[in-house]
Amino acid sequence: MIRQPPIKDCRYGLDPQILQEAAEILRKGGIVVCPTDTGYLLGGDGLREEVIRKIFEIKGRSFNKPIHLVVSDKEMAQRLAVWNEKAEKLFRELLPGPLTLILKKKEIVPDLLVSGTGKIGLRMPGNKLVLQLVAVAGVPITATSANSSGKESPFTVEEVLQQLGEGLERVDLILDQGETLYRRSSTIVDISEETPKVLREGPIPTQQIFTILGSSY
C-alpha cells in the first residue's frame, strides 16, 4: 500500500503555522505538493541539484525535459534569468497569472533543471498561497505538475493522489486548496530571443501576448 503524505486543508485560508511548516520542508530539501492557478505542482528547491533529481525521479520524467520554476516576485525572477524589455512588458500586464516566461538563464540555475538548454521557464501564478510559500521559503520552487510523467495534469488533490502513484511516498506534505482556478496549463511564451514565440496557448491567448509586445505573429 502506498504511503500517503499529510494533507493540510487550505481551502479557507492558509494558516501561518502550516505556511511555516511547508517552507521549512522546502528549505530542508523536501517536497511539497501545492496549488497554482493552473494545476497542482510538485514543489522543491529549484536551485539544489539533489532536489531537482528527486523531482525527476518521483515523476519518472526524462532528464531531457526541462522543469520550470515559480518565483514570488520580479526581483527573484531577475536573479534567475536575463531580464529584457519583453519580459518587463508581459510581467507588468499579465503577472501574476497563468503565464510562463522563457528567458535565458543565469549561472545560478542548475543545468540539470533546464536539461542544458540555457533557458529557464519562470512562473508567477495568480495564486496567493504558492506565492506566499515561495516568499517565506526564500527559494524558487519547481513548477512541474504533481503527476507521473505522461499522465494528465492534476487540478485537485484527489487527482494528485490518483496520478502520482508511488511517487507519493517521497512527498512530505500536500496543501489542499480545492480545485484550481483554471483546468488547463499556462500559456508559455519564449522571449529569450529577438522574435517571441508562443510555445503553448493556455488561458492567455496568443493574440493578447503579441498585442502587449507590439508585434505580429
- Predicted confidence at residue 3, as pLDDT, reads 84
Give the model's pLDDT for residue 30.
98
The Cα-based distances of 155 to 33, 51, 85, 180 in angstroms read 12, 23, 33, 5
Q: What is the pLDDT of residues 99-121, one digit of tens each?
A: 999 999 999 999 999 999 999 99
pLDDT at 188: 98
> Cβ of 190: how many Cβ atoms within 10 Å?
17
Cα–chain center distance at 216: 28
Question: β-strands 99-104, 173-176: how paired?
Answer: unpaired
Residue 125: give the domain boundaries. Answer: 7-213
Instruction: Respond yes or no on whether the N-terminal peptide bond of residue 96 is cis (omega within 30° of 0).
Output: yes
Provide the whole-model pTM: 0.95
In a domain, 29, yes or no: yes
Q: What pLDDT, on a 0 to 100 scale, did the predictor assign at position 36?
A: 98
Residue 201 three-state SS: coil
Residue 1 lies inside a defined structural domain of this protein: no
Three cell numbers written together for 84: 529584457
- In this structure, is residue 2 part of a structural domain? no
Query: Tell me, what CATH number does 197's domain have?
Result: 3.90.870.10
In a domain, 160, yes or no: yes
All residue ranges of the chain with pLDDT < 70 are 216-217
Report the pLDDT value the prediction gives residue 71, as an integer from 0 to 100.
98
Q: Supply the pLDDT for residue 215.
A: 74
- Give the pLDDT score at 41: 98
- Within 13 Å and on the Cβ side, how many CA atoms surround 129? 28
The whole-chain average pLDDT of the chain stands at 96
Q: In this predicted structure, what is the pLDDT of residue 13?
A: 85
Condensed to tens digits (0 to 9), the pLDDT of residues 134-169 reads 999 999 999 999 999 989 999 999 999 999 999 999
Q: Is residue 162 part of a domain?
A: yes
What CA–CA distance (Å, rounded) separates 86 from 178?
Answer: 34
What per-residue confidence (pLDDT) applies to 216? 60
Tell me, yes or no, whether 193 lies in a domain.
Answer: yes
Quote the number of domains for the chain.
1
